[in-house]
Structure 1
Amino acid sequence: MNYGILILTFFTVVIVAVLGNLLIGKQELSWFEQLKRPKFFNASIKLFLIVGILYYMIVGIILYRALDATNTFVVVLSIVILVLNELWNIAFFKPKSTFNGFMGIVIYLVPCIILFTALLRFDNLSAFLFFLYVLWVLYDLYWTYGLWKLNKSRKK
């Protein structure tokens, strides 16, 4: 195990996560809790937090393995995914926009699919772990579409 890369990976993931989440306050979380949700799955903020923690762990594993193997393409894509995920949080929560949430997932899927394709050629474990996350993102696409449709006329 390369401890230098492990420390770099840990701090990269933590710094991006903390910076992104610092911008989301209690008011935005309260808005989210009050939204009408699709009946097929009434996800609470707690579930999203659990998935978020798992997501950061998965991207951390991918980033560590890519840095250790000096796979620059996967490293860059992993960091892009981390940053875009935080930008999605800001685009969804700050303006309190379910439309932004849905469109953000549509856009976010593109680099996710590119990263998954790259991982298939790079590392089976990373590809498998990221595939699980991509399944969540596909579900999230469906869910945010429903969220947007149910809350179209809702004022901030």
Structure 2
Amino acid sequence: MKGFLKNRGNLNIKTLLIALTTCLVFAILESLLAGDIDVYAFFENLKQPTWSLPVWSWLLIGGFYYVLCTAILYNVLLAQPNTKRSIALALTIAMMVANTIWNYFFFGEQSSGYSFTAFIIFLPIVFGLFVSLWKLQRKSAWILIPYLAWLVYDFFWIWSIWKINK
């Protein structure tokens, strides 16, 4: 097994496993905190704006989020240890923690008000991560850009959910 964890070309298997495991732990934690919920039924019963995306698209975006987090975490872990790396690492973990809290409020507590508040806290963390990644290694910052674009839609969506479901 020791030989398996060696670098394979430019891929560092050990670092990749750490990044994957970290993201998997957060995904499992989110699922546990959401509780025993039928996501399709929850979305079906939720009052939503007419421009809401279908439920299956949220599942795709959730999967994309964890692929993105894994790639960013992998790249940050490979960066030279310094203050910029420490900040990027802390913000990557903070983003995953904040996302977990948002999921708990939205799915577990089914509170549009708390989830909107959590989202407002989440936004500067993600933006701060982008700035931090830009200073550390731009390829990781570029990985985050599609998610930043998604968050524009997500902001208006969660705000609308909060207003409609007060």
When normalised by structure 1's length, the TM-score is 0.89
Which residue of structure 2 aligns with residue 2 of structure 1?
A: 12
| 2:147 equivalent among 128, 133, 140 | 133
1:70-109 equivalence runs, <5 A: 70=81, 71-109=85-123
Shift of 1:28: 5.9
Please identify the structure whose Cα radius of gyration is greater: 2
Q: Residue 107 of structure 1 aligns to which amino acid in structure 2?
A: I
Q: Which secondary structure does the structure 2 equivalent of 1:133 belong to?
A: helix
In structure 2, relative to structure 1, the CA distance for the partners of 1:151 and 1:60 (3 Å cut) is: same
Q: Tell me the distance in 2 between the aligned counterparts of 1:103 and 1:143.
A: 13
24, 36, 53: which one aligns with 2:63:
53
How much has 1:26 moved relative to structure 2? 4.5
- Which residue of 37, 43, 67 maps to 1:32? 43
Counterpart in the other structure of 1:144: 158
Q: CA RMSD in A?
A: 1.5
Percent sequence identity over aligned pairs: 32
Instruction: Kindly indicate whether the alpha-carbon contact (under 8 Å) linking 2:98 and 2:121 is maintained by their aligned counterparts in 1.
Output: no
In structure 1, runs of 5+ residues without a counterpart are none
Q: How much does 1:125 deviate?
A: 1.9
Higher relative contact order (CA 8 A, sep 6+): 1
2:130 partner amino acid: F
2:8 paired residue number: none
* Change over 3 Å in CA distance of 1:28–1:98 after alignment to 2: farther
